[in-house]
Amino acid sequence: MSHGTVTSQSKRADNIFELEHDKQEECVQYRWWQKNYISSVWRKKDPKKKRKALVRKNGTYRMFVIGLGEHKSKFFSDIYITVIDLRWPYLIAILFIIYLVIFISFAVFWWLMAYNNGDFDNLKNSEHEFCLRGVKSFRDAVMFSMETQTTIGYGFAYPNAHCVFTVPLTFLQVVIGLFLETLMLGSIFVKIAQPKNRARTILFSNHAVVNQENGKLVLQVRVGDLRRSHLVDSSISGMMIDSYSTKEGSSYPLYQFNCEFSCGKMANQMFLMFPVIVKHVIDENSPLYSIDPENLMSQKFEIVLYLTGTVESTGEMCQARTSYLSNEILWGYRFARMEEFNTKQGQWHVDFKGFNNVVRCHDESHSARELDARRSILEPSHSADIHNKQTFRTESLHNVTHSMTSNVIQTAPSSEQTDETESIV
């Protein structure tokens, strides 16, 4: 082989090394909606095709419960939670109906009292003692009922204490009105101050990514908090929902598998002062251990994440949820950096525009099981090489020691030579 050929091959090897180095260090940044790497992942939203997930992206569940029957009465035993869990349209409709029923019911009582007193027959009689002044019809009675309960008092209609039932009926309607207003304001305040509304300012990345970190495959998700008052003592946990069949033939369509998530070196604890990346290590205890990019799209599992924390301003517990289907996992990607230190202002800047940005890092075509199998094959040969090197060093040291000992024995005078020397002297 000529010297020129060797030089060209070495240059080619150096170029290949530089290209690989550039691929790893200078990755091209993509936005998740601009990349069409996998058509099934970056598909356009179709309103006809709903996302078939147990947990929606906003954290609500796609679960419809039927067959309650006799158990419906148990909801009224806990009326407080039942009212809180009502949707806004239902709550407003119920309050509107309750107010309307009370107004009309007391209007009937006021009208009957005026009717029994003969007020409607003596409208033009100035000497008649009216129970209700200014009430000439049932419509006026409804208006008077509303004025009494809400303490509006326009001045055109007013009661007369001459009638026996005027004072008790007024007292009863005022007390019921106060109780109803307290119930209405309390229910609205509780619904507005619900901790689950705080979860709407917790962001989860649109996709999860799989890449290598310290030689291990990890599933990563980015989490961020939009508010300045962050959650206290927040933690992350997750699970995978998939079908499962036992050896006896029992089938579970919604079986829960444990997926432990951690944030850096803090286990499952985190502080959302800035967006963080939580990871799930895909090891032999992970339900994703045998999944590779080729069969990922054919899987029907769903990964659900729960972020729990305490609201700093109210002290109430808050939980934010989301989920990821198999076609929402990007294999061989990592999240792009969105934090940058501004030297002029002397502070960190976080750009939430790049919250969902991902970067293509390197090709991953093997599952965690396959990577561990390859690593187990390479490690024995590596350990054998180390053992051979240690044996060679030990033998070399032994040979050197043996040769030095032999030289010392040969150079040392014998006992007979010592006696002869002494006799000559």
Q: What per-residue confidence (pLDDT) applies to 64?
A: 85
User: Among 222, 223, 213, which Cα is nearest to 362's?
Assistant: 213
- Site of tokens 């309607």: 173
Under DSSP, is residue 75 helix (H, G, I), strand (E, B) or coil? Answer: helix
Q: What per-residue confidence (pLDDT) applies to 257?
A: 95
Q: What per-residue confidence (pLDDT) applies to 113?
A: 92
Domain 201-370 belongs to what topology?
A: Immunoglobulin-like (2.60.40)
Q: What per-residue confidence (pLDDT) applies to 279?
A: 96
Alpha carbon distances (Å) from 173 to 106, 165, 167, 181, 284:
7, 12, 10, 12, 69
pTM of the model: 0.67
Neighbours of 352 (CB within 10 A): 11
Strand-pair partners of 91: none
- Alpha-carbon distance 231 to 200, whole Å? 13
Backbone angles phi, psi at 279, to 5 degrees: -135, 150
User: Among 246, 265, 244, which Cα is nearest to 256's?
Assistant: 244
What is the amino acid identity at position 267? A
- Site of tokens 């094959």: 377
What stretches of 23-68 adopt beta strand conformation (E)? 29-30
What is the separation, in whole angstroms, between the first and last Cα of the chain? Answer: 73
Domain ranges of the chain: 74-192, 201-370
- Alpha-carbon distance 25 to 20, whole Å? 9
DSSP string for 400-412: HHHHHHHHHHHHS
- pLDDT, tens digit only, all 425 positions of the chain: 444 444 444 444 444 334 344 444 344 444 443 344 444 444 445 443 567 889 999 888 888 888 888 888 888 888 888 888 888 899 999 989 999 999 999 999 999 999 998 888 888 888 888 998 889 999 999 999 999 998 887 878 888 888 889 999 999 999 999 998 898 888 888 888 788 788 889 999 999 999 999 889 999 999 999 988 889 899 999 999 999 999 999 999 999 999 999 998 999 999 888 999 999 999 999 999 999 988 898 899 999 999 999 988 888 899 999 999 999 999 999 999 998 998 888 999 999 999 999 999 877 788 888 888 888 887 665 444 545 555 545 555 455 455 554 554 444 444 444 444 344 33
- Alpha-carbon distance 261 to 305, whole Å? 9
Q: 312 with 324: CB under 8 angstroms?
A: no
Q: What per-residue confidence (pLDDT) applies to 412?
A: 45
Alpha carbon distances (Å) from 179 to 19, 67, 101, 184:
76, 35, 15, 9
Write the pLDDT tens digit of every residue in 137-196: 999 999 999 999 988 878 788 888 888 899 999 999 999 999 988 988 888 888 887 887
Domain 74-192 belongs to what topology?
A: Helix Hairpins (1.10.287)
Under DSSP, is residue 262 helix (H, G, I), strand (E, B) or coil? Answer: strand
Q: Give Cα 42 distance to the centre of its chain.
A: 22
- Alpha-carbon distance 297 to 292, whole Å? 10
